[in-house]
Amino acid sequence: MEDIELLGNTFDLYMKKGKEAKEKGNYALAKRNFLLAGETMMKIAKISQGKLKNVRMDRAKRIVELSERIGTQKEKKKEETEEDEDVKKWQQAEIPNIHFSDVAGLEEVKKAIKIRMINPFLYPDKYKLYNKKTGGGVLLYGPPGTGKTMIAKAIACEVGAKFYAVKGSDIVSKWVGESERNINSLFEEANKQDKAIIFIDEMDSLLGKRGQDIHNDKRVNEFLQQIDGFAGKNPNLLLLGATNRPWDIDTAATRSGRFSQKIYIPLPDEKARKFMIEKNMKNVPVSKDFDIDKIVSKTELYSGADIDELCDRAKDEPLLKAIETDKIVEVTNKDFDNILKIFPPSVTESELKKFEEYNNDIESLLVKNKKK
Ligand SMILES: Nc1ncnc2c1ncn2[C@@H]1O[C@H](COP(=O)(O)OP(=O)(O)O)[C@@H](O)[C@H]1O
Ligand SMILES: [Mg+2]
């Protein structure tokens, strides 16, 4: 079996040679090198595990496609490398249009975020006056579908910041190659803005625990260096991470100044679920005796994303009948019960327990630190 690191270096070399040749207008040579780079990435994909395998496979295909396009089209635009495409995507970053009021429940979380992230942006003078620490990164963690991405966008919206989103797994898949430089260009691009938020989803795949896999260790070290180069230096640049697997993240990543503040995003409570169901059923024809509280009490472990799906699927039968009969067919509690029977919550009790244990561990850590 060939080593990923070795193949990674080979890949780098082909990409570099390809780019140099392209810049000089030697398209034949550029083509050959990009093709070899693509083939090398395919080899890397074949010995990669899990999700990375697919991501790398896709990347290999894209590079091969790119090599085929080189020199054949008049328009220069189409000849851009995938790195250019990333940068372009980042340049198009916008201020999201999701408000805190759209996020159901999570009142404590919202309060913590206001103090830690929103107010320093809005009232920098006051924070200075009280000598409050600002900047650095915040890690949102919790079960999937609880609104982490939504909250990240809402923060950007509330402070009027441009929102740069990247996935840990995407960064990792590109780490062999030019992604270090690429990540740097992301930070630079965000740094240019008046206000910006860099949101890194799937932080666990980017910052795995060190000491088990040298590729991971190398990447974690390099990425942390990059973070240190930016985090805390520009108070108008916020770093936000999210993960469903906080226990897999290297502890150095959550050292002060990096992702030092962790915020738990739990499953929605009854009030939050009611808010979400009401929103989903707004202006939808429902039966006279339609009872949202009954649904609320039956959806204990359902995440926000689950609630969305439940409501959507509950509408299917009445909608079908409405089309068949060309009459208004009301949604009833029975429609919800039918879906609940076949659609269990996506978070299991044992997964939830893992979060509880993790939270207990963090709390005891905090207590220990205080005693020192
Ligand atoms: N607290 C919430 N309030 C309102 N909607 C939510 C909430 N949590 C989840 N949702 C719904 O579920 C979808 C997925 O949520 P998302 O933010 O992507 O979850 P996560 O990032 O935690 O996996 C959202 O687009 C939204 O429709
Ligand atoms: Mg998400």
Cβ 203 vs Cβ 100: under 8 Å: no
Same domain? 190 vs 109: yes
Identify whether the C-beta of residue 144 lies closer than 8 Å to the C-beta of residue 244.
yes
Residues 123 and 236 occupy one common structural domain: yes
Looking at the structure, do residues 131 and 217 belong to the same domain, yes or no? yes
User: Is residue 337 included in any domain, yes or no?
Assistant: yes
Ligand nearest to the CA of 202: 2
Query: Strands, DSSP E only, in 67-222?
Result: 137-141, 162-167, 196-201
Q: How far apart are CA 297 and CA 276, in angstroms?
A: 13
Q: Is residue 9 part of a domain?
A: yes
152 neighbors 113 (Cβ within 8 angstroms): no
Radius of gyration of the chain measured on its C-alpha atoms = 24
- Residue 281 counted as domain residue: yes
* Structural contact between residues 237 and 277, judged by C-beta atoms closer than 8 angstroms: no
230 and 152 within one domain: yes
Domain extent at residue 48? 4-80
Residue 355 lies in a domain: no
**Which residue, of 251, 267, 283, is where some domain finishes?**
267
Taking the mean position of all CA atoms in its chain, how far away is CA 169?
Answer: 9
Same-domain check for residues 120 and 236: yes
Please check whether residue 15 lies inside any domain of the structure: yes
Name the nearest CA neighbour of 300 among 265, 345, 256, 343. Answer: 345
* Crossing angle (nearest 10°) for helices 179-192 and 214-230: 20
CA 6 to centroid of ligand 2, rounded, Å: 33
CA of 270 to the centre of ligand 1 (A): 15
Does 241 share its domain with 325?
A: no
The tens-digit pLDDT sequence of the chain (372 residues) is 567 778 888 988 998 899 889 888 888 899 999 999 999 999 988 988 777 788 888 889 988 888 888 876 543 454 455 556 677 777 788 899 999 999 999 988 899 888 888 888 888 899 999 998 776 688 999 999 999 999 999 999 998 999 999 888 777 766 555 556 667 778 888 888 888 999 999 999 888 887 777 777 777 887 788 777 776 677 788 889 999 999 988 888 777 667 878 899 999 999 999 999 999 999 999 999 999 999 999 999 999 999 999 999 999 999 999 999 999 999 999 999 999 999 999 999 999 999 999 988 876 665 555 444
Say whether both 69 and 194 belong to one domain: no
Domain boundary at 228, 251, 267, which? 267
In a domain, 62, yes or no: yes
Element (H, E) at 243: strand 237-243
Total count of domains within the chain: 3
The answer to whether the CB of 168 falls within 8 A of the CB of 204 is yes
The residue whose CA has the least distance to atom 17 of ligand 1 is 147
**Domain of residue 120, CATH code:** 3.40.50.300
Check pocket membership of 135 for ligand 1, CB cut-off 6 A. Answer: no
Three-class SS of residue 260?
Answer: coil
pTM of the model: 0.76
